[in-house]
Amino acid sequence: QQQVIHGNVSDQEGDLPGVSVKIKNTSKGTITDGKGDYAIKAANGKTLVFSFVGYNSQEIAVNQSTINVTLTHNANKLGEVVVVALGLSRNKSELPYSAQTLTGAEVNSNRNTNLLGELSGKIAGAQIKQANDIGGSTNIVLRGPKSLSGSNQPLFVVDGVPIDNSSELELGGMSNVTQNQRNGKGGYDYGSPGADINPDDVASVTVLKGAASTALYGSRAANGAIIITTKKGNKGLNVVLNTGVLFGSVDKSTFAQYQKEYGAGYGPYYDPNTPGSHFDYTDILGDGTKQLVVPTYDDASYGQKFDPNLLVYDWRSLDPTSPYYHKQTPWVAAKNDPSTFFNHPYTLNNSLFIDGGTDKGNYKIGYTRSDDYGILPNSSIGKNLFNFGGSYRLTDKLTVQASVNYTQTAGKGRGGTGFGGQNGEPMNILQNFREFWQVNVDVQDLKDAYFRTNSNDNWNVKSPTDLSSAYWDNPYFVQYQNYETDERDRYFGNVSLDYKLFNWLDIVGRASEDYYNEFQEQRINVGSVVTPSSYYRLNRTYKENNYDLLLNFNKAITSDISFKGVLGLNARRQNINSISASTNGGLVIPGLFALSNSVNPIDYPIEEVDQKVVTGVFGGVTFGYKDFLFLDGTLRRDQSTTLPDKNNTYYYPSVAGSFVFSSLLKDYTWLSNGKVKLNYAEVGNDAPSHSINEVYDKAANFGSEPLYYVSTVRNNADLKPERTKSFETGLEASFLKNRIGFDFTYYKNNTINQILPVSVSTATGYDGLYVNSGNVQNKGVEVTVTGNPLKTDDFSWNINVNFAKNTNKVLSLYNGVNNYQLAAYKGGVTTNATVGEPYGTLRGTDFIYKNGQKEVDATGHYLFTSNSNNDIGNTNPDWTGGVYNAFRYKNFTLSFLVDFSHGGSIYDVDMVFGLWTGLYPETAGLNDLGNPKRNPLSQGGGVILPGVYANGAPNTTRIDASQNQSAYGYQTAPNKAFVYDASYIKLREAAFTYSVPASFVQKIGAVKAIDVSLNGRNLWIIHKNIPYADPEDGLGAGSAYQGVQLGSYPNVRRYGFNLKFTF
């Protein structure tokens, strides 16, 4: 007979709210309230199943009226209950679409300050790349790039609040900054605002990859969604203190290595009177004789062979403040190459979380302070993160809940990306080191020179009589005088009321806000190579409000048929407001960075206002038949202000079903769980702000005459909403009491009518047109295998393998257009979306092939195509995956993650020029005859390029390799020669944790538990094919920035330890 069963669910740390309590083999259930209590009607003999994200579920037979349960963490196994769209929770075993959940512990084992980067390698089918620079942005693409215009970021939702993670570059569509950085020009990477989420506050992260799972979110989740649930307060008073430190070191395999045989210069022609001369002969001492002077103005290393017995005057001897002033020094390779410029980065990360609760409510309050010090000198990012959350049961029916998160970020000295020096940013130091350098220059001398005078005492000066910079500054000057600073103050939070009108109907009202205020400053001090000196500032506020009203139904129709439903309204208001200005014509007073310090009156500030309102109405139903058949349906209608009136309303439906066949096969006890899922969904998307109406842009007045020009991107008053059609099916099963399981998914997405500014022939008078364009298809498979091969009281081994293969194809583009150029780089290389090809093909010049061999001309040089539209690579990987292992022995846990990516191409501009300037070891050393390559041909030097003549015979013609442009780098080979394979295998993470035995802890007194962990991240690149660089580094966030490297940052190995005290 039925009875009411009461109880409390907790874990080692206290009460657990939100735990699913279900009667096994039925659809009936409830969840625990704010203090972990529950009540449920069940008959004796039935079994209650308690499950919660990140915990082992427990089954307890009903034989008493009070059942208290303590759940144990299972950090290595997927949770059984997942939080899905709109904060609804679903039992994973019945979910009709893919959702992958990670616990807070899994994404924060390193206590890295950026949560998003920590997801890398852990989610099947997610490509996650974090730029290597300090605070660099994180680019996340789920199931392949769907949008042609660049941003393929999923929606981020924290406790139901959508959080902006667009990197600054993507706001405002095709802004100049975007286009510049996309095309490899300079700019800073200010990181992704998603980094404002406190990793210490995360209870779980659920990744929803398909449209069926995200359809209720409407337009914005077309690229999937990342649902983050923060921690909740527990009963009593709980205090957790974490203190951690991470150290770092540059992975040398991802930074330039230098030849150490030849010094400064481009070739043997400096003194017109001395054939073969690599030096200037100039009277710098004023004594009437000529001295041997290093060509300081040239930024290459095709110069004189090093010889410690040869004494020369180098840049130090020109600097009156230098101890070497007017002194000769031996001609040798630098003892300290540019790799010694990098600091050892470190991170301090301390947090205190307090939570507690009573019968009526619970709260949590947390504070985290993190300080990151980057590899570039004078670079740091400091963050204060405050988190508060609480809920209170006002009456039995009414619960109020609120959370506020406040994050302060202060950055300084972030590194530039791409080809700097063009838009008020300094030259990119990494480009300097990788492409244009003299290997005789000792970085520690530069350090001494800078700190001696705090000025730009530099290696690359124009002449002995003009000590201003030729092409590059002293890198210390760049970092200490031309640094950027930025601040971001952000709060996001929500208030919600939950009223239980009936026990089958909940009404939830929720208001949320995500707000941030950014202030960015860029400086170029007087004395830099970039002129004029300048100061630029940008103030921006971003605000998004969401108002939701949800009606949640949960009522069984018959004892066999369960019904859950949701009806909702959502109103979203977004407002972005910015103003920026810069000095004009230089700074009057050096070092004073203020607009008022402008040589000429400043130009108009640039103001931008983007406003957007989207209103949505939606509903969803879930039917369950017994415990094996589930059917979901959703429908949402959105209306957006960014679309033309006539097309501003759009609908998206989804339908999804799952068949839990294991429920019918209970006799087969080896089968723990088995499910087939199938779903189809369509989601829409609106346009970027201001893409409908034509406007004119303002240029600076000419004297008193005002100047306007037609905006270079043509807007379109006939835009229609975008649409993504998504189909997914899969099979999940686990065996032997869940000791082993797999999840297989096949999906196919088509994104059609994409709204994007297509690049067109500029003979139209426009750079781009906003159109509805194309059909991009992504299809692929994702496989996750979990295993628990060994499990004893003392020892366990968990393994999790994920694998994904995505095939991307552009099926059609805008009317009559068969190729869309995404970006253009130096040397005529472009990335493209071409009909019939994957998104992101690289085009450029190619070799001419003879029988598959590279053809050379009669002089032994490579032939290459004159046209630049040859397919020379594809920036998409063929497949990706990760293997996670965790071993526990008593109180010790060791875990590590290896992830890998196979295929894909990178156009490496650093090699194009680094070889051209003779920096890399390839350009020196011995040739096939055993002679120095750089010797003149007459002395047995030179190299034979691998290839064949027009008649197919192997090339035997030795060519000169003694100077710039002779045998290596730019102009000696087509673009194709600098396209590398982006595959890698990385030891991404390792962690070793020791929980101090309770018996010992108790002696200390107040402390309940102490965990000590040693951890590391990006520890080892086990395999890669691109030389001197990290295959994951790109130009910044956004898919169009992938597949090209220019001034790329080295990988930083991170390792550290963390102490966690639980009181």
Interface positions, 856-875, toward another protein (CB under 8 A) = 866-869
Closer to another protein by CB, 72 or 866: give it: 866
Q: Which long-range contacts (CB under 8 A, 24 or more apart) does 711-715 make?
A: 712/766, 712/767, 712/768, 713/173, 713/174, 713/757, 713/766, 713/767, 713/768, 713/769, 713/770, 714/764, 714/766, 714/768, 714/769, 714/770, 715/690, 715/691, 715/770
CA distance 451 to 285: 25
Judged by DSSP in three states, 1001 sits in: helix
307: which 2 tokens?
Answer: 């010889």
Closer to another protein by CB, 51 or 534: give it: 534
x/- track of binding to another protein for residues 707-746 (CB under 8 A): xxxxxx-x--------------------------------
CA distance 428 to 430: 5
CB of 918 to another protein, least distance (A): 13
CB of 264 to another protein, least distance (A): 12
Options 1, 66, 72, 273; binder of another protein; rule CB under 8 A? 273
| Touching another protein, residues 646-685 (CB under 8 A) | 648
Options 101, 322, 512, 832; binder of another protein; rule CB under 8 A? 832
Positive or negative, the CA dihedral 331, 332, 336, 338 is positive
Q: Which range binds another protein by CB under 8 A, 98-106, 518-526, 701-709, 846-854?
A: 701-709
Closer to another protein by CB, 127 or 875: give it: 875
CB of 757 to another protein, least distance (A): 12
CB of 53 to another protein, least distance (A): 34
Nearest to 820 by CA among 830, 808, 829, 806: 830
CB of 730 to another protein, least distance (A): 37
| Touching another protein, residues 381-440 (CB under 8 A) | none
Closer to another protein by CB, 693 or 956: give it: 693
- Asked if residue 470 binds another protein (CB under 8 A), the reply is yes
| Touching another protein, residues 946-1005 (CB under 8 A) | 964, 970-971
Bridge partners (DSSP) listed for residue 430? none
| Touching another protein, residues 136-155 (CB under 8 A) | none
CB of 542 to another protein, least distance (A): 16
Q: Which residue has the tokens 């400091």?
A: 382
Closer to another protein by CB, 404 or 569: give it: 569
| Touching another protein, residues 345-364 (CB under 8 A) | none
- Asked if residue 705 binds another protein (CB under 8 A), the reply is yes
105: which 2 tokens?
Answer: 């512990």
Q: Which range binds another protein by CB under 8 A, 253-261, 266-274, 476-484, 556-564?
A: 266-274
Q: Which range binds another protein by CB under 8 A, 367-375, 400-408, 410-418, 608-616?
A: 608-616
Closer to another protein by CB, 670 or 702: give it: 702
| Touching another protein, residues 181-220 (CB under 8 A) | none
Judged by DSSP in three states, 76 sits in: coil
CA distance 425 to 522: 7
| Peptide bond preceding 757 in cis form (omega within 30 of 0) | no
CB of 227 to another protein, least distance (A): 26
Q: Which amino acid is at 148?
A: L
CB of 432 to another protein, least distance (A): 15
Q: Which helix (H) or strand (E) holds 749?
A: strand 740-759
Estimate the share of the chain in helix, then strand, then coil, as percent rounded to the nearest 5: 10, 50, 40
| Touching another protein, residues 584-603 (CB under 8 A) | 584-586, 599-601, 603
CA distance 765 to 771: 16
- Asked if residue 334 binds another protein (CB under 8 A), the reply is no
Judged by DSSP in three states, 50 sits in: strand
- Of the chain, the end-to-end C-alpha distance in Å amounts to 43
Closer to another protein by CB, 63 or 701: give it: 701
The full 3-state SS of 938-957, as one line of letters, equals HHCCCECCCCECCCCCECCC
Options 55, 156, 255, 266; binder of another protein; rule CB under 8 A? 266
Options 693, 951, 956, 999; binder of another protein; rule CB under 8 A? 693
| Touching another protein, residues 753-792 (CB under 8 A) | 758-767, 769
CB of 639 to another protein, least distance (A): 7
Nearest to 189 by CA among 434, 436, 346, 374: 374
Query: Could you count the other beta carbons within 10 Å of the beta carbon of residue 466?
Result: 11
- Asked if residue 702 binds another protein (CB under 8 A), the reply is yes
DSSP 124: T
Closer to another protein by CB, 2 or 762: give it: 762
Q: Which range binds another protein by CB under 8 A, 29-37, 193-201, 262-270, 656-664?
A: 262-270
Q: Is 977 exposed, middle or buried (0-12, 13-18, 19+ CB in 10 A)?
A: buried
Query: Could you count the other beta carbons within 10 Å of the beta carbon of residue 920?
Result: 23
CA distance 161 to 167: 18
Options 6, 269, 452, 592; binder of another protein; rule CB under 8 A? 269
Strands 606-625 and 629-640: antiparallel
CB of 865 to another protein, least distance (A): 11
CB of 462 to another protein, least distance (A): 6
- Asked if residue 272 binds another protein (CB under 8 A), the reply is yes
DSSP for 1026-1045?
Answer: STTS-TT--SSSSGGGTTEE
CB of 471 to another protein, least distance (A): 8
E strands, 119-200, are 126-130, 138-142, 155-158, 161-163, 187-188
CB of 626 to another protein, least distance (A): 38
- Asked if residue 275 binds another protein (CB under 8 A), the reply is no
Closer to another protein by CB, 816 or 930: give it: 816
Helix ranges (H only) for 207-262 are 211-214
Q: Which amino acid is at 66?
A: T
| Peptide bond preceding 532 in cis form (omega within 30 of 0) | yes
Closer to another protein by CB, 204 or 917: give it: 917
Q: Which residue has the tokens 């779903």?
A: 679
- Asked if residue 463 binds another protein (CB under 8 A), the reply is yes
- Asked if residue 280 binds another protein (CB under 8 A), the reply is yes
CB of 822 to another protein, least distance (A): 10
| Touching another protein, residues 808-827 (CB under 8 A) | 814-821, 824, 826-827
Options 39, 557, 592, 609; binder of another protein; rule CB under 8 A? 609
| Touching another protein, residues 554-573 (CB under 8 A) | 569, 571
Q: Cβ(435)–Cβ(914) under 8 Å?
A: yes
76: which 2 tokens?
Answer: 């290595």
- Asked if residue 793 binds another protein (CB under 8 A), the reply is no
CA distance 473 to 529: 6
Q: Is 501 exposed, middle or buried (0-12, 13-18, 19+ CB in 10 A)?
A: exposed
| Touching another protein, residues 880-939 (CB under 8 A) | none
| Touching another protein, residues 510-539 (CB under 8 A) | 529, 531-532
CB of 611 to another protein, least distance (A): 4
How many residues line the site for another protein (CB under 8 A)? 104
Options 25, 336, 580, 611; binder of another protein; rule CB under 8 A? 611
Nearest to 752 by CA among 771, 775, 770: 775
CB of 701 to another protein, least distance (A): 8
